[in-house]
Every structure is written in C-alpha cells, then in structure tokens.
C-alpha cells in the first residue's frame, strides 16, 4: 500500500473532530459554495501552486534535484474534486503536501508563507493536520500531513475511484450540487457543507475499499 498506511487506520472514518482545532488566522476572502462546471484550466492552476510549494520546500524527496529546502517535501498532489476530470466542483484547488516531520513547523510554515500561503490552523489530534490557503490565481486549500497519513491516502483512493467509476462520479456530482444549494439556503459554512456530503463520501469510500480488499 502507498506510504505503508495501516489498513485499520485507513478504513476508520469519522475521525475528524472540529473541537481539535487551533486557529492561527482567518480567511481574508470567503470562497463561494457554488458548484461550477469542470474547468480545463484547473490542472494547470494546480501546477502553479505546486511550483510555489516546491520553490518553498525544495524538490520532493523522490526527486534527484537539489536546491534550497531540499528534504522538507516528501510529495505534493492534486486532490479533491478539481483533480477529477469532468467533475463539477467548488472553484477551489485542493492540494495534499506530505512533509517528513509534521511537528517540525520551522521546516515548512515560514517557507510556505513566503510563497503566499496563509497558515490557517493546526489539528494536532487529526494526524497533525496543518491547513493553509491561498487566493491567487484562484482559491486553494493546502493540507499538510506527515508520512503514512490515512487521510492523505483516502484522498488518493477517493480521487482514483471517481476517475474510474462513472456512476459514483455522477452520484457525487449530484450530491455536491444538492448540498451546496441547501447550505447556501441555510447560510451555512463550508464545514457544514462538507458535513452534508459525509454520508455519500463514506459510501463511495466503502465501495473503493471493498474493491481493494480492505473491507468485506
């Protein structure tokens, strides 16, 4: 399995606790909850953000390149709905960054901030998650994790499953639009919108895990 993630940890869902949040700052601009049609520029926009991250932290550890910060980045990946061709999404690029030591903030926080990423919060009990945002050239969410992180592995599996499975991709598209409209009508936050989708996401992940042989 990628990154040697423990299967029991991987299939254990609902492990996010919103009370486990240490707020660092607040968004300068509030992103929209609108679900928009797929944009063919999303992959190239991700590449812009990825380039900034590599500039900040050095080439990924799997690279043979050298430069300032080399050793502070294990991997960077485009995840979330904008990474799935043909899937409607909020106009926000989601990025997973894996660093060798999530608790060594001196190795990545100021470097990412120097490239325009705003440090928003840390969640020590949720795999040590650190969360950054950016708003140019469009909104981006940057999730920083340590090695062998179940949450990052779920993101990868979910993305690949949606790319390969039209029925679940269509189901997720409908769910996103329905939840977006309900959340906008109720004046809800992005987290409340995410909560509305959770049951469908868990069902899709269960089917992916079953195909991989991780669950019955």
pLDDT given for residue 16 in this prediction: 64
In a domain, 11, yes or no: no
Does 12 map to a domain? no
Residue 6 lies in a domain: no
pLDDT digits (tens, 9 = 90+) for 91-125: 999 999 999 999 999 999 999 999 999 999 999 99
- Residue 147 belongs to a domain: yes
- Burial category of 62 from C-beta neighbours within 10 Å (exposed 0-12, middle 13-18, buried 19 and up): exposed
Neighbour tally for 42: CB within 10 Å? 22
Whether 60 is in a domain gets the answer yes
Contact criterion met (CB below 8 Å) for 32 and 90: yes
Return the residue matching tokens 């990412």.
Answer: 112
Pairwise CA distance, residues 212 & 216, whole Å: 10
Confidence check: pLDDT of 78 > 70: yes
Total tally of structural domains belonging to the chain: 1
- C-alpha span between 88 and 199 (Å, rounded): 19
Is the residue at 5 inside a domain? no
| Residue 2 covered by a domain | no
Identify the bridge partners of residue 132 per DSSP, sorted by sequence position.
119, 142
**Structural domain boundaries, residue 163:** 17-210
Tokens 């909560």 found at? 195
Q: Could you read off the pLDDT of 55-77 as tens digits, one per residue?
A: 999 998 754 344 444 578 999 99
Q: Which stretches does DSSP call E strand in 55-201? A: 75-79, 92-98, 118-123, 129-134, 139-145
**Largest Cα–Cα distance of the chain, in whole Å?**
50
Computed over every residue of the chain, the mean pLDDT equals 92
Query: For residue range 170-203, what is the model confidence (pLDDT) as tens digits?
Result: 999 999 999 999 999 999 999 999 999 999 999 9
CA distance 168 to 113: 37
Beta bridge partners of 133: 118, 141
Q: Is 140 inside any structural domain?
A: yes
Dihedral sign, CA of 77, 10, 80, 19?
negative
Instruction: Give me the pLDDT at residue 147, please.
Output: 96
CATH number for position 42: 3.30.460.10
14 falls in which pLDDT band (50, 70, 90)? low
- Calpha distance 86→163 (Å, rounded): 9
């Amino acid at each position: 399995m990628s990154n040697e993630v423990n299967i029991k940890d991987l299939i254990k869902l609902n492990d996010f606790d919103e009370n486990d949040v240490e707020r660092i700052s607040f968004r300068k601009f509030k992103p929209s909850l609108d679900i928009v049609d797929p944009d063919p520029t999303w992959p190239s926009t991700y590449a812009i953000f990825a380039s900034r991250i590599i500039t900040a932290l050095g080439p990924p550890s799997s690279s043979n390149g050298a430069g300032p910060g080399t050793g502070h980045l294990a991997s960077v990946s485009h995840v979330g709905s904008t990474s799935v061709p043909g899937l409607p999404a909020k106009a926000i690029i989601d990025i997973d960054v894996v660093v060798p030591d999530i608790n060594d903030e001196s190795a990545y926080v100021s470097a990412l901030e120097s490239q325009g990423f705003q440090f928003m919060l840390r969640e020590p009990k949720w795999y040590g998650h650190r969360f950054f945002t950016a708003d140019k050239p469009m909104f981006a969410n940057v999730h920083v994790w340590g090695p062998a992180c179940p949450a990052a592995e779920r993101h990868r599996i979910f993305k690949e499953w949606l790319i390969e499975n039209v029925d679940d991709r269509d189901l997720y598209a409908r769910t996103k639009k329905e939840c977006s409209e309900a959340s906008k009508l109720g004046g809800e936050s992005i987290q409340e919108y995410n909560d509305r989708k959770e049951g469908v996401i868990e069902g899709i992940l269960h089917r992916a895990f079953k195909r991989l042989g991780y669950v019955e």
